[in-house]
Amino acid sequence: MSGAGMATGSRLGLTVAAVARRLGVAPATLRTWDRRYGLGPTAHAAGAHRRYDSGDIARLEHMRRLVLAGVSPADAARAARELDLASAGSPVESPMVSTAADDAALAQMAPPESAIPAAASRHGGGHVVAIPGGTPAARGLARAAVSLDSGACESIIAETLSRRGVVWTWDHLLVPVLVGVGQRWEQTGTGIEVEHVLSEAVQGVLNAQVQGSFSPINSRPVLLAGSDGEAHTLPLWAIAAGLAERRISVRMLGARTPASALGAAVKRTGPAAVVLWSQTTQTGSLDNLEDLPDLRPEPAVILAGPGWQPGPAPVRRVHDLTGAIQEVARAVGA
């Protein structure tokens, strides 16, 4: 590109997607940094979206370096806002060669154990959540959750989701940490605030994936619901995010969906598939299916999760995220 062309690009700035590629982060991470820390695009032209100028990118690069060095996102953002741009150079005119961070770098995005306040030890069940055989990123996510650093939790999840996809992120990052946090609460009776911070971060990042812009390939909807009395919804959001990767849109009915309400939703929407989640045997009764109406064409009924009793022949039973996604894709003809 000519010098004049580069100068023009510098004045116009870069889009969220372009900056995300340069930094090796997910676009969702940049939006979080904008919303939470005020590190957003400032360049604006009439009739166009805001764009990141050279100063914006210099601050983001500085924040990124600090975060990877183990500084909390809040402190890194404060330092980035105070950055002396005169000595930082122009990243738009000097393109940064970036690669995706590996698991070890992701782990550094969470506070080191020495940085977790003593209060977390007293009230959060200790500095360490046991993650047997967990990846460095999983251990970093656990540390971030124990320190109640929701920004670091969101960043680690979004980074991994961008690099690895939904299924890998769920199986190798989120499930091990969610199980570890849950077991610590069961064993000690403390740390419910850790589980809440982690759950909110997981749902927020997965929901951003579901709400992303894509053209759905399914003409008939897919309904996702928790069975009557079932409070766990994170697996449903993981299914929804995995389907979004395949451009399959869903309608989320959420937790504790009574059989009558599920039947009414099926009758009203005529879905291609219904995914009903049960985590425990207490919520896995087949009575949840009693009010499903007879429709033509008949929707695929997919019972997902470990709580279900054996079902009748037309009902499809799946045990993991991959199975649920594959069954829904088959039902919509993907």
Task: Give mean pLDDT, residues 19-43.
Answer: 84
**What is the spatial distance between Cα 238 and Cα 173, in angstroms, rounded to a whole number?**
12
Domain edge (last residue) among 151, 175, 191: 191
Query: Which domain CATH number covers 29?
Result: 1.10.1660.10
* Contact indicator for 290, 241 with CB cutoff of 8 Å: no
Predicted confidence at residue 189, as pLDDT, reads: 78
Which 3 state secondary structure label does DSSP give 25? coil
The whole-chain average pLDDT of the chain stands at 80
The confidence score (pLDDT) of residue 123 equals 42
The angle formed by the CA atoms of residues 26, 32 and 34, to the nearest 5 degrees, is: 110
159 and 234 fall within a common domain: no
> Does residue 225 contact residue 277 with C-beta atoms inside 8 Å?
yes
Q: Are residues 229 and 323 in the same domain?
A: yes
Number of domains within the chain: 3
205-252 pLDDT, tens digit per residue, is 999 999 888 899 999 999 999 999 999 899 999 999 999 999 999 999
Residue 184 sits in the same domain as residue 243: no
Residue 262 domain-assigned (yes or no): yes
- The predicted pLDDT at position 111 comes to 63
* 20 and 83 both lie in a single domain: yes
What's the pLDDT score for residue 15?
86
Examine the domain organization and report whether 160 and 248 are in the same domain.
Answer: no
Query: Is residue 142 domain-resident?
Result: yes
Choose the weakest-confidence range: 125-129, 183-187, 327-331.
125-129
pLDDT at 171: 92
Q: Does 246 map to a domain?
A: yes
Are the C-beta atoms of residues 300 and 327 closer than 8 Å to each other? Answer: yes
Residue 159 belongs to some domain of the structure: yes
Encode pLDDT of 16-29 as tens digits.
Answer: 888 887 777 778 88
pLDDT(320) > 60: yes
For residues 234 and 311, membership in a common domain is answered with yes
Cα–Cα dist 240/252, whole Å: 8
Q: Tens digits of per-residue pLDDT, 252-296?
A: 999 999 999 999 999 999 999 999 999 888 888 888 788 788 877
Do 164 and 233 lie in one domain? The reply is no
Cα 278 to Cα 281: distance, rounded to the nearest angstrom: 8
DSSP H/E element including 120 = helix 118-123
Q: Check residue 48 and give its pLDDT.
A: 62
User: Considering the entire predicted model, what is its pTM?
Assistant: 0.67
Residue 146 lies inside a defined structural domain of this protein: yes
Residue 303 has pLDDT above 80, yes or no: yes
> Rounded to the nearest 5°, which phi and psi values hold at 47?
80, 10
What integer pLDDT is reported at residue 92 of this predicted model? 38
pLDDT of residue 23: 78
The mean pLDDT of 179-191, rounded to a whole number, is: 82
Answer whether 183's CB lies under 8 Å from 195's CB.
no
**Residue 277: predicted pLDDT:** 94
- State yes or no: pLDDT of 326 exceeds 90: yes
Q: Could you identify the residue written with the tokens 């000690």?
A: 188
Domain stops at, among 150, 169, 191: 191
Q: Which residue has the tokens 């967990």?
A: 134
pLDDT for 138 beyond 60: yes
Residue 186 has pLDDT above 70, yes or no: yes
Q: Which domain holds residue 153?
A: 133-191
**Separation of alpha carbons 286 and 313, rounded Å:** 13
Give me the CATH number covering residue 259.
3.40.50.280
- SS3 label, residue 109: coil
pLDDT score, position 291: 79
DSSP state of 280: S
Give yes or no: residues 314 and 236 share one domain: yes
Measured CA to CA, the distance from residue 326 to residue 333 in angstroms comes to 10
Please report the DSSP string for 194-256 in residue order: HHHHHHHHHHHHHHHHHTS----S-SS-EEEEEPTT----HHHHHHHHHHHHTT---EEEESS
Q: How far apart are CA 116 and CA 204, in angstroms?
A: 23
- What pLDDT sits at residue 118? 47
The C-alpha atoms of residue 301 and residue 324 are separated, in whole angstroms, by: 11
122 occurs within a structural domain: no
Q: Which of 3-12, 189-198, 212-221 has the lowest mean pLDDT?
A: 3-12
What does DSSP say about strands 273-277 and 222-226: parallel, antiparallel, or unpaired? Answer: parallel
Examine the domain organization and report whether 160 and 74 are in the same domain: no
The more confident residue out of 326 and 76 is: 326
Higher-confidence residue of 119 and 76: namely 76
